[in-house]
Amino acid sequence: MNPSKKTVLITGASRGIGLACARAFAKAGYDMYLTCLHSEKQLAALKQELETIWSVKCRVCLCDAGNHRDVAQLFSTIDSLDVLVNNAGISYFGLIQDMSFSDWDKVMSTNLNSCFYTVKYAVPLMLAQGQGRIINISSVWGNTGASMETAYSASKGAVNAFTRALAKELAPSNIQVNAAAFGVIDTDMNRCFTEEERKQITDEIPTGRMGSCEEAARLVLQLVCSPAYLTGQVVTMDGGWT
């Protein structure tokens, strides 16, 4: 990586908000590390796109952000880091009594444990250079809870608490920690809904539509570029929904 450029690590970068974040940070001139769980071809294509259009350096790899061994291996290749975007996440829709123990563990590992694993290795790098920014991708359901999405809501509520507590811990070291709690963003995760269900959802949103991944990425980049006095915040962007 170019030592004169800032670097960002984005987990879950092959699609949705993570993909949009990668493009936004590349446009802003960041060199980057991008990960995802399965989509190696998509990441390789994204790397070529970003390096060709924006002349940034981009390293990509498959990494299960919810597995501490994978994260440790990832960080063995990273020698400096300015920004961490914890975007890796999965949803689960169903009654809690029907949820298996393994599905519960998977949701918690991917959505919550992943934040701990990446932060554990990112913070020493940021301490060494005297600054850093951490953005955790959360959800409005972490604020209010959602029926049939108890595990997901619990994981994102924990991410919010993790964000606020970590911000206090790292503030004296000039490392800012914030979260972006999104409402319904038009991603693959929400394309499981039928057209009728999508209409019911958008009818409840004052802006009358789902948010775009590009809008979500713009907020993430704005949080990274915000004054250093902004830390420990869970910033909600949901079209006025909640």
Distance of CA 39 to the CA centre of its chain: 17
- Residue 2 confidence (pLDDT): 60
Residue 104 has pLDDT above 90, yes or no: yes
Per-residue pLDDT of 54-78, as tens digits, reads: 999 999 999 999 999 999 999 999 9
Name the band, by pLDDT with cuts 50, 70 and 90, for residue 155. Answer: very high
User: Using CB atoms within 10 A of its CB, is residue 227 exposed (0-12), middle (13-18) or buried (19+)?
Assistant: exposed
Q: What is the dihedral of CA 14, 18, 21, 22, to 10 degrees?
A: -30
C-alpha triplet 50, 56, 60: angle, nearest 5°? 65
- Cβ-contact 230, 178 below 8 angstroms: yes
pTM (2 d.p.): 0.95
Q: Contact, 211 vs 186, CB < 8 A?
A: yes
Write the single-letter amino acid at 16: G
pLDDT tops 70 at residue 1: no
Task: Give strand pairing partners of 133.
Answer: 83, 176
pLDDT at 211 over 70: yes
pLDDT band per the 50, 70, 90 thresholds, residue 190: low
Choosing from 33, 92, 117, 152, the catalytic residue is 152
Band (4; pLDDT cuts 50, 70, 90)? low
Asked about 152 being catalytic, the answer comes back as: yes
Residues near 191 by beta carbon (within 8 Å), at least 6 away in sequence:
none
For residue 50, give the amino acid letter: L
What percent of the chain is modeled with pLDDT above 70? Answer: 96
DSSP output for 172-197: GGTEEEEEEEE--B-SGGGTTS-HHH
Average pLDDT of the residues in 125-130: 97
> Who's near 80: CB < 8 A, 6+ residues apart?
1, 3, 7, 125, 128, 129
Question: What average pLDDT is seen over the chain?
Answer: 95
Could you tell me the pLDDT band of residue 242, with boundaries at 50, 70 and 90?
A: confident
Go through the domains of the chain in sequence order and give each one's CATH number: 7-237 (3.40.50.720)
User: What is the spatial distance between Cα 35 and Cα 122, in angstroms, rounded to a whole number?
Assistant: 15
In this prediction, residue 192 carries a pLDDT of: 64
- Counting beta carbons within 10 angstroms of the beta carbon of residue 195, is it exposed (0 to 12), middle (13 to 18) or buried (19 or more)? exposed
